Structure 1
Amino acid sequence: MNHIFYIMGKSSSGKDTVYSRILEDMELVPIVLYTTRPIRAGEHEGIEYHFVDDGCFNAMRDSGEVVEWRTYDTKCGKWTYYTAKDSISTDMGDRIGIGTLESYVKIREHLGDEVLVPVYIEVDDDIRFLRAVEREKRQSAPKYAELCRRFLADNEDFSEEKLSEAGIDKRFSNNGSLEECLAAVKMYISDFMK
């Protein structure tokens, strides 16, 4: 059976780095989600996301191609993130994706528990906040108000209650060594692929 390994964590937990390093080192096919958010410096179409406009999202949703979506009223306008059916087909082998706890729950409802495997990356808030500020500084037009909104929203979106309800009991700490976190995640995924 093919699996989808779904990387989750609060903003600046290192989930994007873990995701990209696993893609470099393991034979997994990436899931590319869609967003109406503007592309950030260093991002590429079809790699981090499919960057689309609201019209494309509405057309895909209306035609039944969208499995789940969420729209955030950010300091920079409304941004929608979503998963389309074409993104999560397991016909191409074992896959890896990245998303929110909310998207994980909805995709799991669509695919089932046996296919979708959660990988939750955890970082203490003080470390996470400093990482977020450093990342935002590198943007051509830093959006610190949005960083703060996202940071606070994550505490609610990834509350202990919601993690428990979603059945997330395995966690990978990225407080210290990224290499240790990465090694633990890779071993966990490898066990499923045997």
Structure 2
Amino acid sequence: MTETPLRLAVIIGSTREGRVGDRIAHWFVAQAGGRPDLTVAIVDLAEFAFPAGYPARPTPQMSAFAAEIGRADAFVLVTPEYNHSFPASLKQAIDFAYDEWHAKPVGFVSYGCRSAGQHAVDQLRTVFTALHAVTVRDGVGVDLLDGCADLDSRLADYLPVQAAQVLLDQLCWWGRTLRAGRAAHPYVS
């Protein structure tokens, strides 16, 4: 019996004009390409028209985002580091779902200057712990000031490619394990 592929949502966390997060997300999706154990969808926060304030009732865009999260078995957040944290656009979107995150694995592809986005990831791990999600240990970090002027060359290097494969392997293990657990015993929060 062949197992149903995991649904991996790759979430682009920056909505800034001129961002590199979309390029990094597409690179990561290419790294996941060809894996029979995954189907991958990009969820670009820039494509959602979220309200500036949190309304009493979810808007259609908020509901559409929560539905995307609900369909996924695992997540990769592609996040920049802004001022030693992650973007407000990402936090806002994360908060539009709650139960949909429960008992699912989350991995991180981060980028930034010098720290490669690690400060953002450290804070996101705390957020996802509160959402009853499992964050995988390894991730991909891209230093935008590493001396390589070309992002594509930087991403083609052995280290980020290898890091992406390790992240994908961990997400698949956790994703299968947690999906089977949710099917056998619904998660109680």
| TM norm structure 2 | 0.45
Larger relative contact order (C-alpha < 8 A, sep ≥ 6)?
A: 1
Greater strand content = 1
